Structure 1
Amino acid sequence: MYRFVGQARLEWWANHSTCLEMYDITVTVDAVGTLRATGRHASTLDTTQREGWDFLMEMAPYFSIAFLSEDRGGIVVRVIEAENGTLSLTEAPDWDGSANGTFDLT
C-alpha cells in the first residue's frame, strides 16, 4: 500500500480477544516503508465517546487500524491528536501491547 485515501477504523484492544472501542476515521496514508497517516474522526464524538477516547489515549495511544475497503488490517499505530482534531498516525511495530495506568476508585 503506497497511498490510501478513504475510511478506516481505529480499534483499541485490551487483549487478543477484547476490543474495548472502535472509532471510524477518514484517513490519508502515505506508506513507503513505515506507515504514516493523517486523519480525522469521521463524525464528531459525543460526550460519552469523547470521554472514552480521552481515557484510552491516556492509557496507551496505540490502536489497531483496519482499512474498511481493503483486506489489510491489524497494523498497530501510535495516535497523536492535535488541538484542532487532526490525528497523526505512525506505525508502531515494536509496541509490546503493555500499558500502565492508575485508577482512582474513590
Structure 2
Amino acid sequence: MNVDTDLAHLEWWANPSTCLARIPLTIEAIADDAWNATASPAFDQETREGLEFLLDLSPFATLRFKNDAVVDVSVGHSGDLKQLRLRAVSDTELP
C-alpha cells in the first residue's frame, strides 16, 4: 500500500498579523478534503495545554502546506492531541 504523507503546519490566527500557535505536522490525505495528522515532534506540557485551550475556543484553524498553500480546516481528535483529524471547511462554515 502506497501511503502519501507530507509536512505541514497547523496555525491559529487571532488576526491577519498575529499567529497564536503554529504546530508542525506530518499529514496523510484520506480524501480530497480530509487528512490524518500527527504532531511532530511530540508536545511538551505547555504546548499540549495551549492546544487544548485553542481547540476549546474554536475547532477551526489554518493548514499551511510546505509550498505555502493554505486551507481552512476543522480540527478533531479522539482524546490524543498528537493524532488529529483535519477536514477542509468552506467560508460559510467558519464563525
C-alpha distance in 2, partners of 1:28/1:89? 10
Normalising to structure 1: TM-score of the pair? 0.76
Matched position secondary structure for 1:52: helix
Please give the per-residue CA displacement for 1:45-90, whole angstroms capped at 9, x wherever unaligned: 101101100000000011100111x2412x1100001234421100
| Larger fraction in helix | 2
1:80 to 76, 79, 94: 76
Q: Gaps (5+ residues) in structure 2?
A: none
* Identity level (%): 29
1:49 aligned partner, one-letter code: T
Name the counterpart of 1:55: 53
Q: Report deviation, 1:22.
A: 0.3
- Runs of 5+ consecutive residues of structure 1 not aligned to the other structure: 99-106
**How many Å separate the matches in 1 of 2:68 and 2:18?**
21
Q: Number of matched residues?
A: 91
Structure 1 distance, partners of 2:31, 2:83, is 18
Give, in angstroms, the shift of residue 30 of structure 1.
Answer: 4.0
Tell me the TM-score normalized by structure 2.
0.84
Q: Alignment partner of 1:83: what SS? A: coil
Instruction: Mark the structure with the bigger radius of gyration.
Output: 1
Alpha-carbon contact 1:63-1:79 (below 8 Å) kept: yes
